[in-house]
Amino acid sequence: MLSAARFGYARLLGKYAVAASSISAADQAVSLAPADAEVHRARARVMNRLQVPGEARKSFESALRLRYRDDYLWLELGSTRDELGDTAAALAAFDQAVQWAPHYAHTLWQRGNLKLRMGRYAEGFADLRAAAASKTSLLPSLIDLAWGFSRNDVKTAEQLIQVENDHERLAFARFLAQKGKGNECFEQVRLLSTPLSEQNRHELVQQLIAAKVFRTAFELWRTDKPVALPVIVDGGFEELPRNQFDDRGFGWFIFAKTEPAIQGDALEKLSGKKSLRLRLNGDWKAPNETIAQRIVVEPERRYRISFGVRTKDVVTGGPPAIAVKDAGNYERLGQSEAFPTPSSNWQTMQFEFSTKPKTEAVVLEFTRLTAECEPCPIFGELWLDDLVIEDVTSANSQR
């Protein structure tokens, strides 16, 4: 009974010593239960926290004499030896950890990292790959390490990772998308043995857009036959998104939650089956409450956007219009004249804009021209249809 009480009290003291970073409590715990590996571990952790690695090493070694097959103890001893600069002894400890837990990620990952720092790259990445195979959450870290060691060279990184299945290839594609490596990301997608799921496709497109690699993002987003660029997708509003708050990449994206009411209209149209109707019922803070689309373009080109518009009883001091901004930095590149008010039949409008040297895509959005009133309500209805973009660079240069 007394022995059990001493053991329990020693464990309690060990926990307190770690929490309070108390050497005296740790020493007392060891004196009460010198045959308990856990109190030696507690003392070692206290010494490491107080930056006394030499004493920590002694305590870990004492703990291991009592519990030799504890892979976690071997890892802690290896880390402490490494801190003391004894790399060979650290590796020996990690080897023991792997011996007692050969198929677990934590032992292989620790040893692999040490081997990399020792310059034993082939052995190190072999351990890291085995660790990532055992614990898939380590795969992004493996890819990041390979990227760093390859000095941002895609082929070398791929060789270090040794991609063997679709899961690993997709993770590598995501990493490349985040790094703005559009062509390389697309090539990894092409090598997949099974088609991309819609969710994975959407994630990759969004990552490429965030990295401002718009052309590759469009090619990955497009699942039907090739189209000639530039193009306004569904410029006739025949297939508006079912989920209006889902950014589909390069289709129409509706920002508005309540006002203005935005929907397709099969009764009033310029051509095709539908047009877009906007009901303006008060305070419309365009372009933040409207509909927009990204369009892939070429730098230093001249473009023309044409569209049909009809208005009914539009009353406002800040009339609506269409604007184009650089998708990379949101600099305004051009805008249309104000839509006709208060009412008009269908009429065609157009405007031109020029892209900058670094422009890869633009955002077409509905906006309002500067109003003299604040707040500036807007009422009425308007319809839009047949939006088309064309490259008029050559035509302009011949004038």
pLDDT tens digits along 271-296: 889 999 988 877 766 656 678 899 99
User: In the prediction, which pLDDT does 48 show?
Assistant: 93
- Matching residue, tokens 């490349």: 176
User: In the prediction, which pLDDT does 1 show?
Assistant: 42
Average pLDDT over residues 251-260: 68
Peptide bond preceding 34 in cis form (omega within 30 of 0): no
User: In the prediction, which pLDDT does 241 show?
Assistant: 65
DSSP-derived pairing of the beta strands 378-391 and 275-282? antiparallel
171 within a domain of the structure (yes/no): no
pLDDT band, residue 399 (cuts 50/70/90): low
Among the candidates 79, 101, 123, a domain finishes at 101
User: In the prediction, which pLDDT does 287 show?
Assistant: 57
- Quickly count: other Cβ atoms within 10 Å of residue 119's Cβ: 8
DSSP 350-368: EEEEE--TT--EEEEEEEE
Could you tell me how many residues make up the chain? 399
292 within a domain of the structure (yes/no): yes
80 within a domain of the structure (yes/no): yes
| HSE, side-chain direction, 13 A CA sphere, residue 162 | 10
Peptide bond preceding 342 in cis form (omega within 30 of 0): yes
Give 149-175 pLDDT, tens digit per residue: 999 999 999 999 999 899 999 999 999
Average pLDDT over residues 301-309: 96
Q: Which of 20, 15, 50 is nearest to 33 (CA)?
A: 15
Average pLDDT over residues 29-49: 93
169 within a domain of the structure (yes/no): no
- Quickly count: other Cβ atoms within 10 Å of residue 122's Cβ: 8
Q: Which of 146, 128, 148 is nearest to 138 (CA)?
A: 128
Lowest mean pLDDT among 213-217, 226-230, 242-246, 249-253: 242-246
Report whether pLDDT(148) > 70. yes
CATH of residue 348's domain is 2.60.120.260
pLDDT band, residue 339 (cuts 50/70/90): very high
Give 72-125 pLDDT, tens digit per residue: 999 999 999 999 999 999 999 999 999 999 999 999 999 999 999 999 999 999
CATH of residue 71's domain is 1.25.40.10
Amino acid found at 390: E
Q: What pTM did the predictor assign?
A: 0.81
69 within a domain of the structure (yes/no): yes
Among the candidates 75, 101, 127, a domain finishes at 101
Lowest mean pLDDT among 59-68, 218-227, 346-355: 218-227
Give the span between the Cα atoms of 375 and 135, in whole angstroms: 56
Average pLDDT over residues 298-319: 92
215 within a domain of the structure (yes/no): no
Q: Please report how the helices 37-49 and 53-66 are oriented relative to each other, as an axis angle in degrees rounded to 10.
A: 170
DSSP assignment letter at 343: -
Give 180-225 pLDDT, tens digit per residue: 999 999 999 999 999 999 899 999 999 999 999 999 999 999 877 7
User: In the prediction, which pLDDT does 398 show?
Assistant: 56
- The domain tally of the chain equals 2
Instruction: At 221, list the tokens.
Output: 């987003």
Give 224-241 pLDDT, tens digit per residue: 777 888 999 999 998 876
User: In the prediction, which pLDDT does 388 show?
Assistant: 96
H/E/C letters for each residue in 9-68? HHHHHHHHHHHHCCHHHHHHHHHHCCCCHHHHHHHHHHHHHCCCHHHHHHHHHHHHHHCC
Give 7-35 pLDDT, tens digit per residue: 888 889 889 988 999 999 999 999 999 99
Among the candidates 74, 101, 128, a domain finishes at 101
Q: Which of 325, 322, 393, 323 is nearest to 360 (CA)?
A: 325
Give 355-395 pLDDT, tens digit per residue: 999 999 999 998 888 655 667 788 899 999 999 999 999 76
Average pLDDT over residues 335-353: 93
239 within a domain of the structure (yes/no): no
Q: Which residues contact 54 (CB under 8 A, 6 or more apart)?
A: 84
DSSP 200-254: HHHHHHHHHHHTT-HHHHHHHH--SS--PSS--TTTT-SS--SSTT---SSS-EE
Q: Decide if 14 contacts 42 (C-beta within 8 A).
A: yes
Q: pLDDT over 90 for what percent of the chain?
A: 70
**Residue range of the domain that includes 271:** 253-397
User: In the prediction, which pLDDT does 2 show?
Assistant: 46
Report whether pLDDT(396) > 90. no
Question: Rounded to whole angstroms, what are the CA distances from 3 to 10, 14, 35, 39, 267?
Answer: 10, 16, 12, 15, 90
pLDDT, averaged across the chain: 89
205 within a domain of the structure (yes/no): no
Give the span between the Cα atoms of 132 and 174, in whole angstroms: 16
